[in-house]
Amino acid sequence: MTVFPTPRGTLTPDRPLADLTWLRVGGPAKALFQPADHDDLAAFLRDLDPAIPVFPMGVGSNLIVRDGGLDAVVIRMGRGFNGISFDGTRVICGPAALDAHVARKAADQGLDLTFLRTIPGAIGGAVRMNAGCYGSYIADVFVEATAITRSGETVTLTADDLNFAYRSSDLPDGMVITEVTLEAPKGDPETLHQRMTDQLAKRDATQPTKDRTAGSTFRNPAGFSSTGRDDDTHELKAWKVIDEAGLRGHTLGGAQMSEKHPNFLINTGGATAAELEDLGELVRKRVLKHSGIELQWEVLRVGKR
């Protein structure tokens, strides 16, 4: 029997994770820990058996937890870690602050983080994945982050430490971000809010926002992003090569590649994590055969089959 430290926050052994992910699939974690505050998290990580891995989890928007569950303590940040404050043109966010909330509150202050408005998830995950949209990325506005190491030590991370790349960073395994500072360009609040309204309308018209998805399933080949500009081309977009391979709407059990946007993997109801992942792998195989392009997963897959 695993013995855990006694925190001030909430610790739940053998906690199922399916209801915490957007795709609603996955087995249990060894435990789910929701820390009360920074010090509670630091003490827990310090006192936890070093042999037990930890997995920081945001709102589960870009994640497949496999059916066998996760042999780790999942750390889920909630209240106490979702604050948003301002210091001039700097935006200081908790890791649980939703990307969309950060974009809206920044716009109220005349600060342009509008690219975050349509990105599902929270700021901690956005840093880890170098989230981006419309040609802008977290790396473009990142100043620094505070994090706690697996041994309970508090550190400051710079962009050089994280080595941002397309849809990735070098955040060490087990390290938990507790605060993020961004530097935002100035803009007119009304103009910024209108831009976000337009972005939302375009997203809703082109993406399956009412379905159970995890956002974009695969990275765009060669690191090209969808800028949303009128002169944008689509030769190297993931959705395009999936569509050309005849996989729009393709199903496997309860899993489906969206008819509306074929780079979105959907749980149509009752899908297992295995079905979702297997459909993704089938797509990768057929796209490689059809076009010679090897798609890379953007959705994170964790745990045991």
Which candidate, 70, 85, 68, 44, places its Cα nearest to that of 176? 44
Q: Are 178 and 156 in contact (CB under 8 A)?
A: no
End-to-end CA distance of the chain: 23
Residue 275 structure tokens: 């079905």
Q: Looking at the chain, list the stretches that DSSP marks H as alpha helix, in order from N- to C-terminal side.
A: 38-47, 99-108, 123-129, 138-141, 159-162, 189-206, 238-244, 273-291
Which residues are the active-site residues? 167, 216, 298
Strands (E) in the chain, as ranges, are 10-13, 29-34, 54-57, 63-65, 70-76, 84-87, 90-93, 132-133, 136-137, 142-148, 154-157, 176-183, 212-216, 251-252, 255-257, 264-267, 300-302
Give yes or no for a contact between 226 and 133, defined as CB atoms under 8 angstroms apart: yes
Closest CA to 112 of 96, 94, 91: 91
